[in-house]
Amino acid sequence: MRVDAITLFPGMIDSPLSESIVGRAREEGFLELGFFNPRDFTDDRHRTVDDKPYGGGTGMVMMAEPVYRALKKARKRNSFVILLTPKGRRFDQALALELAKKKHLIFICGHYEGIDERVTPLADMELSIGDYVLTGGEPAAVAVIDAVARLIPGVLKKEDATVNETFAGGLLEAPHYTRPVVWRGNKVPETLLSGNHKLIAEWRSSRAQELTAATIRRQL
Ligand code: SAM
């Protein structure tokens, strides 16, 4: 899969996504990540990308033209363009699965007060990672790219790793334990030590259901 980000701060995305599993996915060619900086698509010697908002108000607004030119350069025939904004559709695992099937994603990252509204129709989707406001779209792009990249076949070496996990079947995942059997007086649940795979599967299924019900109650 190819992913491009239109961003004034490529390092905010490149650096976190150079580590661990996604970093390895990039090295192994499962994920190609590129950057287009609107500053490189300006005409003035100050490479201006923002200006004051019409109608007054605090903060600066990213100008449409440098973003438009960067997008024009990044876009291919099969690109799916995502504008990151707290006003967008809320990101979730179902959408991560949908996006993982795309050949080319382009993320447009706003900064400051956001981007001139006239850029919005250029995107296929407006996307939010939650009901809070970040300083820029870059951390949101990192979260979405990370969640999507691990769903690309071959990125996680154990193929079933994404099958039973939280959200996959509409349930939260049962808790995990590893050595030692007793840690600071807390023992691993007996069933997990039994070696009986049928009992272990039943235990995991009932814990997942209890956990999901308790979480839903807490959120109501
Ligand atoms: N003035 C905007 C508003 O009130 O909706 C907020 C702008 S925010 C400071 C700057 C940029 O961060 C946005 O253009 C967007 O790209 C990104 N951003 C902030 N919060 C986000 C969120 N929850 N999800 C996705 N992107 C977000």
CA distances to 147, 149, 155, 220 from 97, rounded to whole Å, are: 9, 10, 14, 26
117 lines ligand 1 (CB under 6 A): no
The single residue listed with the structure tokens 């956990």 is: 211
Residue 111 in contact with ligand 1 by CB distance below 6 A: yes
pTM: 0.95
Residue 86 Cβ < 6 Å to ligand 1: yes
Q: How far, in Å, from the CA of 110 to the mean position of ligand 1?
A: 7
Over residues 6-53, the pLDDT tens digits come to 999 999 999 999 999 999 999 999 999 999 999 999 999 999 999 999
Mutation probe of ligand 1 site: the residue of 134, 138, 142 with most atoms within 8 A of C-beta: 134
CB 28 within 8 A of CB 152: no
Atom of ligand 1 nearest to the CA of 91: 24
Please write the tens of the pLDDT for every residue from 131-160. 999 999 999 999 999 999 999 999 998 766
Residue 195 alpha carbon to ligand 1 centre in Å = 49
Q: pLDDT tens-digit profile of 41-72?
A: 999 999 999 999 999 999 999 999 999 999 99
- CB-CB neighbours of 212 under 10 Å: 17
What is the rounded average pLDDT for all residues in the chain?
96
> DSSP character for 111?
B
Ligand 1 atom with minimal separation from the 87 CA:
5
